[in-house]
Amino acid sequence: MTTVTRPSPTRSAGSRRRSGPLAIALAELRMLVRNRTVALCALLLPLGFGALTYAFDSYGTAGMLAGVQIIGMVGLGVYVTATTTLAARRQSLYLKRLRSGSVGDAGIIAGLVLPVVAVSVAQLVIVLGVLALREPPVHAGLLIAAVLIAEAMFAGFALATAGFSTSPEHAQYTTMPLYLITLGVAIWWTITGADDLLWLKRILPGGGLMELITLAWNGGDLSLVSVLLAPTLVWAALGALAATKAFRWEPRR
């Protein structure tokens, strides 16, 4: 039996109303798994990257390997994936549809980005867990903080880059410069360590983060933490600031 107006408050299984951000996040997870291209980018590529770093294990210390893994995997799994996804959702006017409801912009963004972040964290648990079996991190708490900062920084970068990525295809190009710079700085660090241009490495995106992860895994002078956190947090804040300026909800007319 069908009624035109909504029924009395008795609810069936289909009437449960999840919170808006949670419903958006669950929908996003479903879409992530069901779209082959996105699944490849978000699920397989980061794991493949993590596995590949073991095959080319010439990074010296476990901390350096963990740094390259975290930056490379979060860069692919969060930055590239979220930028591509947001560009696609905007192009299809899915974002506009979500904004027609009662959920605020922050809730919508959280619903869209958190699933990608959650998947990325799960991937890191797997890949870093394997590394920890070989050589566990010295400062696990600091490592977790570094991972969370990496996730936040790349999520901010994704929102900002999505602002000027007109399509998911375009996002494949627009994400490359920043991704390659952060990964390049991380690899540069593994090759030269603290020897050359230390301050430049620290202030470049990913540089301070790389050294922080190395410190957390290998141990060392903890008085450096604030020095390494500062540029990383600044990059995360710059990403968030750029996102507030550059992010667009609808395609340009």
Q: Which of 48, 60, 96, 230 binds other proteins (CB under 8 A)?
A: 96
Q: Write down the least CB distance from residue 170 to other proteins, Å.
A: 19
Work out the burial of residue 99: count CB atoms within 10 Å of its CB; fewer than 13 is exposed, 13-18 middle, 19 or more buried: middle
Q: Which of 56, 58, 100, 173 binds other proteins (CB under 8 A)?
A: 100
Q: How many residues does the chain have?
A: 253
- For the chain, the 3-state helix, strand and coil shares in percent, each to the nearest 5, are 75, 0, 25
Q: Which of 55, 56, 58, 102 binds other proteins (CB under 8 A)?
A: 102
Say how far apart CA 67 and CA 166 lie, in whole Å: 31
Other CB atoms within 10 A of residue 115 CB: 24
Alpha-carbon distances, residue 148 vs 31, 63, 229, 242, 252 (angstroms): 24, 17, 12, 19, 33
Stretch that binds other proteins, among 91-99, 117-125, 218-226, 232-240 (CB under 8 A): 91-99
Tell whether residue 30 is a contact of other proteins (CB under 8 A): yes
Q: Residue 243 is encoded by which pair of tokens? A: 């996102």
Q: Which of 48, 51, 97, 200 binds other proteins (CB under 8 A)?
A: 97
The binding track of 227-246 with respect to other proteins, each residue x by CB under 8 A or -, is --------------------
Window 34-63: residues binding other proteins (CB under 8 A): 34-35
Tell whether residue 98 is a contact of other proteins (CB under 8 A): yes
Stretch that binds other proteins, among 25-33, 138-146, 168-176, 186-194 (CB under 8 A): 25-33
Q: Which residues contact 210 (CB under 8 A, 6 or more apart)?
A: 64, 67, 68, 71, 185, 186, 189, 190, 201
CB nearer other proteins, residue 58 or residue 102: 102
CB nearer other proteins, residue 6 or residue 58: 6
Q: Which of 11, 51, 169, 230 binds other proteins (CB under 8 A)?
A: 11
Tell whether residue 129 is a contact of other proteins (CB under 8 A): no
Q: Which residues contact 148 (CB under 8 A, 6 or more apart)?
A: none
Q: Which of 87, 95, 155, 204 binds other proteins (CB under 8 A)?
A: 95
CB nearer other proteins, residue 169 or residue 250: 250
Say how far apart CA 37 and CA 32 lie, in whole Å: 9
What is the DSSP code (8-state) at residue 15? G
CB nearer other proteins, residue 100 or residue 223: 100
Alpha-carbon distances, residue 252 vs 83, 87, 90, 93 (angstroms): 17, 12, 10, 11
Q: Which residues bind other proteins (CB under 8 A)?
A: 1-7, 9, 11-12, 14-15, 17-20, 22-24, 27, 30-31, 34-35, 89, 92-104, 108, 250, 253
